[in-house]
Amino acid sequence: MILKIAWKNIWRNKLRSSVVLFAVTIGLVAGIFAVGVMRGALLQRVDSAIHNEVSSMLLHNSAYLSNNESIYTLSNADTILSFLQQQDEVVGACKRLKVEAMINSGRGPRGIILNGIIPEEERLVTRIAGSLVDSSSSYFDKDMRYTPILLSSVLAEKLKVKINSKVQVDAISKSGNSAQDVFKVIGLYKTENSLFDEMNAFIPYQNMAELLEFQMSEAHEIAVLTKNIMEVDSLTYFIQKQFGEQALSSELSGEHLSIQTWKESAPDLEITTLYIDLMLYIFVGIILLALGFGIINTMLMVILERTHEIGMLLSIGMTRLKIYMMVMLETILLSLTGGLAGIIISHFIISYYSNAGINLDFAKEGFNAIGYSSFIYPTIDWLSYVQVTFMVIITGILSALYPAWRAIRLNPSEALRTE
Amino acid sequence: MKVIEISNLNKIYNETIIPVHAVNNLSLEINEGEFTAIVGPSGCGKTTLLNMVGGLDKPSSGSIQIQGEDITAYSASRLTQLRLWNIGFVFQAYNLIPVLTAFENVEFIMQLQNKSKSERYERTMELLEAVGLKDKKDVRPSRLSGGQQQRVAVARALASKPKFILADEPTANLDSTSTETLLNIMEELNLKENITFIFSTHDKRVMDKARRIIRLEDGRIIEDQGIIH
C-alpha cells in the first residue's frame, strides 16, 4: 500500500512531477549520449591503434628498443613466428624489418620509418591493406620495374607525390653502409592517426632485406594480433618460456627477447580503456548530482504542502518509519521513472547513431592529429545501463534523505494545525 | 468501565515566555459506551484536551490513563501504537488520503495493523455499508461530498476496532442534512456496538445528540451534564 500511495502521490501535482521527470530524462539522455559518443570514439581509437599500430603485442630484440639501431634484430624471427601461428588465441602474426630512413620526392627530404612487410602475413594483423584509399595495383605487385612502396595519403601530399610517382629512399644497411633505391608509389593508405600515417611507409620485406643486407629470417619486430586483446598475459608467458632463454644474435651479447603487450607499447591506450568506464561515473554522476538538488527541492515542497496530511497519518497510527519509507519510495520512483525514460530514449538514440555514425568532419584534422576518427559510432554496453539505473536509484535515495527526515520530524498535533 | 481517566491535567504553551494555560488542572473520566460532547468557545482547550487524550500532544503535568495505563510517559513510538490499536480519529477537515479510494482509505489502517486481506475486505465492506457508502467504495475523496467524506472518515476511524473515537469538530464543515446523517450513523454505532465517542464541538446539533456534555472554559470544566457512572 505504501508503494501504491507513493506512486499515486507522484501524480498529485502532474505539472511539477512532469517537470522533474522531464529534467531527469533530458539530463540522462544528454549524459548517456555524451558518454556513448566518447566511449565510441575511445573504443574506435583503441581498435584503430591495436589494428594499425601496436597490435596485441610486439616482440623485439631488447637492444633494438633501447638503442633504436637496425643491427639489433630477432635472428630467430621465423621460428618465433611459426610458434605463434600455431597458438589458438593468435589471429595472426607477422614479421617486419623496420628502419629509420629519409624519403625524397624532389620536394625535399622527410624522415620516415620504413617498414619491410610480408603482405599475406600483415593482412592478418593490421588493416593497412583495408585502409588503401587509392591504389594502382594490388597491395604489392611483384612484377614491377621499380620496388613498390606504400605511402599514406598524408605523406604523399606532403611529398607532393601521387600513385605511380617515384620516390627515393635512403637508409643505413645492417653493415653500416648507406643504401638507397628508387621506389614507385603503388598505393596510398589512410588510418585515423595522421601522426602514424605521416611517419610510416611500407615496402616488401624481401626488397628491404636485400637492400639493407638483412638475412631473410631476421626481423626487427614481430606483431601479434590475439582474439581477445584483454587476455594477452598467458601468451606472453608462453612465448617468454619458449624463447626467453634463446640467444637472439650470435655476434652481440646482452640481448633478450622483449615482449610488449599493447598496454606497454601504448600506455595511453590502457589509460583510455580505464577512463572509458570512469567517464560514465563522472559524466552521469555530475548530471545526477545537479538533478539531485532539484529533486530535493521538489520533495521539500511536497513535504511542506502535505504537512497536514502527514500529521493525519501520524495521528491514525502510521509509524515514522513507514512515513520515511513512503517519502523515500516517492522520491526513488520519481527519479527512477525519469531515469528509465532517459535510459530508453538514450538506447534508441545510441542504437540509431551506432549504425548511422556521427560525422564530425568539420573537425577532422584535429581528431586525426590525436589519433581519433572524425566519424564516431557511439556505443554503450548493457552493463552501463545497469550502472546508470543504480546511480539513479542512489540519487533518489540520497535526495530523499533530507525531505524524509523533515517529514518524520513533524509533530502530529502541530502538523494537523497546518492549513 | 472507565476507558479514560484524566487527573489534574495541565497544558501550558510558551511556559518560559508568556505562559498560556490551555488546559488547567482538569480531571475527567470517560466510561465505555459514552456519547460525549466537549463543548465551549474557541480557545477553551477542547482540541488541546483531545490531542493529549489521543497521544498527539504531551501534557505539561497530570496523568491520562487509558484502560488503566498512564500514557503520559509513553515514548513517541508507543503512542503511535496506542493510536493505531486503541483510538479512532475523526477530523474536522475529513483528512482522507486523496490518492486512495473510499475503500482503500478505510482499509489502509488495517494494513498498518497487518490484518489479512480477507479480514480487511470484510471489515471495510461492513463499515462502508454501515455508513451508507458501499456503492461509493471505488470513488476517490475528491469525488465525494463533504458529508460523504466525513462518513468515510468515521468508517476509517472504526476500522481498527478502537477503544474509543475522538472526533474534533466533525460537523464543522457539513451542511445540516449531512450533519444529521453523520450524527445518526455515529449514534447508531454507539448504541448498537457500544463504541465510545468523544466529540469536541460547538455545534448545537451535536450537543442535542450527545448524552453527556462537558463544558470547558479557559481550560477548566465548568459544567458536566449527564455523567454516567
Compare CB distances from A316 to B57, B76, B83 and report the shortest one's residue: B83
Compare CB distances from B109 to A8, A314, A317 and report the shortest one's residue: A317
The pLDDT tens digits along chain A (419 residues) read 888 889 988 888 889 999 999 999 999 899 889 889 988 888 888 888 888 888 899 999 888 888 878 888 888 889 899 999 898 899 999 999 999 999 998 888 899 999 999 988 888 898 887 777 777 666 676 667 788 999 999 999 999 998 889 999 999 998 889 999 999 998 899 888 888 899 999 999 999 999 999 998 899 999 999 988 877 888 888 888 888 766 555 445 557 888 999 888 888 888 877 777 788 888 889 999 999 999 999 999 999 999 999 999 999 999 999 999 999 999 999 989 999 999 999 999 999 999 998 988 888 888 877 778 888 899 888 888 898 889 999 999 999 999 999 999 988 888 888 87
Residue of A nearest to B85 (CA): A317
Backbone CA torsion sign across B150, B155, B157, B162: positive
pLDDT for position A254: 59
- Domain total of chain B: 1
Which residue is it, cell 624522415? A111
SS3 A211: helix
Q: Alpha helices, DSSP H only, in B2-101?
A: 46-53, 76-86
The closest alpha carbon to A270, from A42, A41, A36, A38, belongs to A42
The closest alpha carbon to B154, from B191, B114, B184, B121, belongs to B184
Average confidence (pLDDT) over B44-51: 91
**C-alpha cell read off for A214:** 638483412
Count CB-CB contacts under 10 A for residue A157.
13
Probe site for chain B from A309, A316, A326, A411 (most B CB atoms < 10 A): A316
Kindly report, residue by residue over B54-80, the tens digit of the pLDDT. Answer: 999 999 999 999 988 899 989 989 999
Taking contacts as CB-CB distances below 8 angstroms, the residues of chain A near B98 are 12, 309
pLDDT for position A250: 46
The verdict on a CB contact (< 8 Å) between A320 and B81 is no
Compare CB distances from B108 to A1, A12, A319 and report the shortest one's residue: A1
Query: What domain range includes position B55?
Result: 2-225
Kindly report, residue by residue over B88-105, the tens digit of the pLDDT. Answer: 999 888 889 999 999 999
pLDDT for position B106: 95
CB-based contact, B99 to chain A, within 8 Å = yes
The verdict on a CB contact (< 8 Å) between B97 and A318 is no
Half-sphere exposure for A280 (CA within 13 Å, toward CB) = 22
State the complex-level ipTM. 0.90
SS3 A374: coil
The verdict on a CB contact (< 8 Å) between A12 and B98 is yes
The verdict on a CB contact (< 8 Å) between B77 and A8 is no
The closest alpha carbon to B169, from B95, B80, B83, belongs to B95
**For the purposes of burial, counting CB atoms within 10 Å of the CB of B223, is it exposed (0-12), middle (13-18) or buried (19 or more)?**
exposed
The verdict on a CB contact (< 8 Å) between A317 and B81 is yes
The verdict on a CB contact (< 8 Å) between B89 and A316 is yes
Return d(Cα B193, Cα A30) in angstroms, integer.
63
Using the 8-state DSSP alphabet, how is residue B55 labeled? T
Taking contacts as CB-CB distances below 8 angstroms, the residues of chain A near B104 are 1
The verdict on a CB contact (< 8 Å) between A322 and B112 is yes
Taking contacts as CB-CB distances below 8 angstroms, the residues of chain A near B93 are 308
Return d(Cα B208, Cα B226) in angstroms, integer.
12
The verdict on a CB contact (< 8 Å) between B95 and A312 is yes
**C-alpha cell read off for A403:** 525531505
pTM of the model: 0.75
**C-alpha cell read off for A224:** 601479434
Using the 8-state DSSP alphabet, how is residue B195 labeled? -
Residue of B nearest to A419 (CA): B93
Question: At B28, which CATH number?
Answer: 3.40.50.300
The closest alpha carbon to A52, from A218, A265, A362, A216, belongs to A265
The verdict on a CB contact (< 8 Å) between B80 and A308 is no
Give the alpha-carbon dihedral of A319, A322, A326, A328, to 10 degrees.
120
Return d(Cα B87, Cα B80) in angstroms, integer.
10
CB-based contact, A9 to chain B, within 8 Å = yes
The verdict on a CB contact (< 8 Å) between A312 and B91 is yes
Return d(Cα A84, Cα A224) in angstroms, integer.
8
